[in-house]
Amino acid sequence: MRFDVLVEVSLRPGIADPQGSTIERALPSLGFDRIEAVHVGKAIRFIMEAPDEHSARGTVEELCKRFLTNPVIEDASITITAS
Amino acid sequence: MRFDVLVEVSLRPGIADPQGSTIERALPSLGFDRIEAVHVGKAIRFIMEAPDEHSARGTVEELCKRFLTNPVIEDASITITAS
């Protein structure tokens, strides 16, 4: 089966997020003044082959731990949909 | 009302995605060989105040056009949930 996978990589709570802070600081001068808690992460999308969704999730979790994220400072949220 | 907003910024079709290509090229040597079409984008999350979801979406669309994306090479996909 083929699956569409989205891995959202975000900085863990407490880790400085300079991109998010810069966006947040710039917004009021552009006229957007009711926005807060801006965080910038990565959205990694790919297509994978796997026998079923359970094994697809296992592979993606291993991939995140070994390669896509730095688990010391980043969290990964995985969304898998059959395609 | 308060809304949780996710803006996923992705490169438009046909625009070179060197981060995605690099990940894709590295995967087979790590033992992940059934993954293709890797694309890397940005996931921007924030909280906003707006009278209703319709006006929240309008504000976020304007924000994307003016500030968060480069519309020549990037697309934005917006997800809004009441918080």
Which homologous superfamily is A2-82 in? Phosphoribosylformylglycinamidine synthase subunit PurS (3.30.1280.10)
SS3 per residue for chain A: CEEEEEEEEEECCCCCCHHHHHHHHHCHHHCCCCEEEEEEEEEEEEEEECCCHHHHHHHHHHHHHHHHCCCCCEEEEEEEEEC
Residue for token pair 């079709």: B13
Residue B38 has pLDDT above 90, yes or no: yes
In chain A, what are the domain boundaries? Answer: 2-82
Residue B30 has pLDDT above 90, yes or no: yes
Residue of A14, A12, A27, A10 whose CA lies nearest to A72: A12
Local confidence band at B83 (pLDDT 50, 70, 90 cut-offs): confident
Q: What are phi and psi of B40, to 5 degrees?
A: -115, 125
Residue A78 has pLDDT above 90, yes or no: yes
pLDDT tens profile A7-25: 999 999 999 999 999 999 9
A76: left (phi over 0), alpha (psi -120 to 50) or beta: beta
* Tokens representing residue A77 in the block: 């949220």
pLDDT at B41: 98
pLDDT at A83: 85
Tell me the DSSP string of B32-77: --SEEEEEEEEEEEEEEE-SSHHHHHHHHHHHIIIII--TTTEEEE
pLDDT tens profile A24-64: 999 999 999 999 999 999 999 999 999 999 999 999 999 99
Is some CB atom of chain B closer than 8 A to the CB atom of A36? yes
Is some CB atom of chain B closer than 8 A to the CB atom of A68? yes
Please report residues of A whose CB lies closer than 8 A to that of B50: 34
ipTM: 0.92
Distances B31 to A7, A26, A76 between C-alpha atoms, Å: 19, 43, 20
Candidates A34, A49, A57, A69: best to mutate against B (most CBs of B within 10 A) is: A34
* pTM of the full structure: 0.93
For chains A and B, count residue pairs whose Cβ atoms are closer than 8 Å.
92
Record: contact B46-A26, CB cut-off 8 A? no
Is some CB atom of chain B closer than 8 A to the CB atom of A78? no
Is some CB atom of chain A closer than 8 A to the CB atom of B72? no
Amino acid, single-letter form, for residue B45: R
pLDDT at B17: 97
pLDDT at A36: 96
